[in-house]
Each structure stands twice: as C-alpha cells, then as structure tokens.
C-alpha cells in the first residue's frame, strides 16, 4: 500500500514537472518564432535610407543645385528635392509605416530627423567615384560616403545624449536606442550599370558586376557593425526600358523586346540582380541575427511597363517632362541670358516615366503598392513585418 502511494506521489511530481517543462519550451519557441518567421507589426521608430536619385528626397538638391519646378509640382506644389513630379517609393514606405517623409541628411533648412534620415543623393553609385565616373557626371557622394555620414550622425547623437541636451534638440533627433530598431532601406546600383555602359562594352559591364556587388556586401556588413538589424534591399529596375536609354541606344530589331525595351541592357540588369540576390542570401547566413528582405523592384516595374494601358498609362516608353539632350526636366536651360524651366505634359499621371529616367508619382505609387505588401519580396514579407527573420535562410 505504501509502495503504491509512493508511486502515485512520484507520478504526480513527474507530471507537474513535465507540464512546466512543456510550457516553458512552448514559451521559448513562441519567442523564437516571433523573431524567426514571426508575424505582427514591427513598429519601426525610424528609417535610414541609402541610395541614388530613385530615393533622394533633397540631398543632391541641397548639396549642389536645387532641382527646379515642375519637379515636385503635382504633390508638393513646390520644388521638393526629388527627381519626380511628386512622391518617391521611399515616401510611400514612410507613409506605410506611419512615419513622416524622410529629411535629407544634407539639407540644413527646416529638417527633422526624429524619425530617420535620408542619405541618398542623385547620381550616387555603389562604387567610389573615380576620374572616369566624375567626367561622366556622377555624384561624389557614393555609398561609402553615405555610410561615413551615417556613422558620424550616429556618433554625434550618442554624444549629445550623453551630454544631456535640451528636450527641444532631442525632439528633432532619433534616440540612441532607435538605431538597432530601425529599418535600413537601400536602393542603389542603377548608376553603376549606366556608368559601365557609357564607358565600356556590354561584356565588360557584365564582368564588372561581381566587384560592384562585393562593395555592396561590404556596405551591408558595415551597417551591421553599427547595429543595423533590419534591411529592406531593392534590386535595380529594367534599365533597358528607360526612355532616354532607348533613345540613346542604336536600334536593332533583335535587341528590342515586345515592349520596345532593350534586351541587352535588361539582361545586364538581370545579372546584377541575380548576383545581388545571391549576396543577400550569403549575408543572411553570415548574420543570423539580422533580417534581410530582397525586393524585386525589377519585376514590379517591368510588370507595369508590360501592361501599361491596362493600368491607365499611355506609351510606357514616353515621358512627361523635358526634351532629350535639349531641355532636361531637372535642369534649367539658359537661352539669351534667360533661364527656362522644362515644360511638363498636361497629365503627368498618364505617364510611367516623368523625365525619361525617373518614374512619375503615379508610377511610383503603383510600384509601391506592389512591393510594400511583400508580393515581390524574398521572403514574401510586408514591410511592416520586415524585422522578422526568415526561417529559410
């Protein structure tokens, strides 16, 4: 009888211990799943962006020359520092996250960095500028310079908080703890390919891609060393569909696809994107504590171009503002001592291309709606949930 009671007591103790062990394991697993393949809004406090004119919200305009009207006219009703009649994809990203538009880091007038900063500048490249690239006209503020600006920005904010600055100053700056919780967006590479095509053969341009991608990977590692943990990385768009590229390139029937785009240029973009995606996969394995989302901007933009009329746009290779090689939309023309701004079309929302190189507000909105919900991303994660790491590394 005593043996039976003792056995029952041991069984009860074992059952209670097993229950708590299972409960604890489920608790740990649920926490792991929130980080690995979890769901739910990430509530990013800030966004830091790096890139070129596709996401520049005023950097080049502040550093070199103001981008004049009619740029900005559709949405902002004034020059906004953007190569567009309205908003860019980075603006729609901020809106999707419930944040204000990002101020350009280089802009000293009425800026507020409380919810992030934009280090992108028009004409920037992944590669550091050399004499060849400078002669063509690219920005000296390459990706590595943008990272140096970010590092100084972060360091100075940490110093200010340690010194005990006033609440008024703090209200315009991110908090030190925000840097590890931020979303880091990167949209750059188009100018590297454009520069290569302007200065070497297509074969040489393709051969230059591994070196460019390696420099990109080094930039991501540098940001990770600074505490960045959530990355939203755009690939490059179909450069063979840019109206100015089509006009500049010798027309050969076999090199033109069903949409009028240049096959060979888009093949180079495809190769860049293939190697970029491979690099992102490698970076995921190197940094299992980080979430890296690869966003197929090419697919979204080419889908729009391929079915432009169905989505309410006119000729996808047309453009709204300026004239090729004559009166460019982003630069005033001087005639007989008088500055003349480019004249836009009457209905910018009907055009995919705003100025022959950059997308219109309407096209950017269409693409943003395609990409921000994760429809063309790897992993297929909405941007609001991009902090969750993928189980399939």
The catalytic residues are 53, 355, 358
List all residues 6 or more positions away from 111 whose beta carbon is below 8 Å from its beta carbon: 103, 104, 172
Pull the structure tokens for residue 161. 């908080």
Q: Name the nearest CA neighbour of 68 among 356, 328, 365.
A: 328
The CA distance from 386 to 360, in Å, is: 26
In degrees and rounded to multiples of 5, residue 70 shows phi and psi of -85, 5
Q: Cα 66 to the chain's mean position, in Å?
A: 22
Strand locations in the chain (E): 47-51, 116-118, 183-187, 230-234, 291-295, 333-335, 338-340, 377-378
C-beta separation of 262 from 199 below 8 A: no
Angle at 132 between CA 59 and CA 82, to 5 degrees: 20
| Long-range contact pairs involving 151-156 (C-beta distance under 8 Å, separation at least 24) | 151/226, 153/105, 153/113, 153/117, 154/179, 154/226
């Amino acid at each position: 009888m005593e043996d039976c009671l003792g056995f029952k007591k041991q069984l009860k103790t074992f059952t209670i211990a097993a229950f708590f062990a299972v409960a604890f394991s489920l608790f740990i697993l649920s926490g792991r799943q929130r980080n690995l393949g979890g769901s739910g809004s990430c509530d990013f406090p800030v966004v830091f962006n790096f890139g070129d004119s596709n996401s520049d919200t005023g950097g080049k305009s502040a550093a070199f020359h103001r981008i004049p009207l009619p740029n900005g006219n559709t949405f902002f009703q004034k020059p906004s520092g953007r190569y567009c009649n309205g908003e860019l994809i980075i603006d729609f990203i901020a809106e999707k996250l419930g944040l204000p538009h990002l101020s350009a880091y280089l802009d000293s007038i009425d800026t507020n960095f409380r919810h992030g900063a934009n280090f992108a500048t028009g004409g920037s490249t992944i590669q550091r500028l050399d004499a060849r690239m400078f002669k063509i006209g690219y920005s000296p503020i390459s990706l590595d310079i943008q990272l140096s600006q970010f590092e100084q920005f972060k360091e100075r904010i940490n110093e200010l908080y340690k010194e005990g600055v006033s609440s008024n100053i703090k209200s315009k700056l991110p908090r030190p703890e925000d840097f590890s919780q931020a979303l880091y967006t990167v949209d750059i590479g188009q100018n590297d390919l454009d520069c290569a095509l302007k200065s070497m053969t297509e074969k040489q341009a393709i051969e230059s891609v591994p070196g460019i991608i390696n420099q990109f990977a080094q930039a991501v590692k540098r940001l990770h060393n600074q505490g960045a943990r959530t990355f939203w990385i755009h690939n490059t768009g179909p450069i063979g569909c840019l109206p100015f590229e089509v006009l500049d390139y010798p027309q050969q029937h076999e090199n033109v696809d069903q949409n009028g785009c240049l096959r060979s240029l888009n093949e180079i973009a495809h190769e860049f994107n293939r190697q970029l995606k491979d690099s992102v996969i490698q970076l995921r394995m190197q940094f299992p504590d980080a979430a890296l989302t690869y966003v197929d901007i090419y697919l979204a933009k080419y889908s729009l171009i391929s079915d432009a009329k169905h989505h309410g746009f006119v000729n996808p290779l047309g453009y709204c503002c300026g004239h090729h090689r004559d009166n460019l939309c982003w630069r005033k023309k001087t005639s007989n001592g008088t500055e003349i701004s480019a004249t836009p079309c009457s209905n910018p929302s009907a055009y995919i291309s705003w100025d022959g190189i950059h997308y219109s507000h309407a096209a950017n909105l269409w693409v943003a709606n395609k990409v921000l919900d994760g429809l063309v991303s790897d992993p297929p994660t909405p941007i609001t949930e991009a902090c969750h790491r993928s189980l399939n590394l």
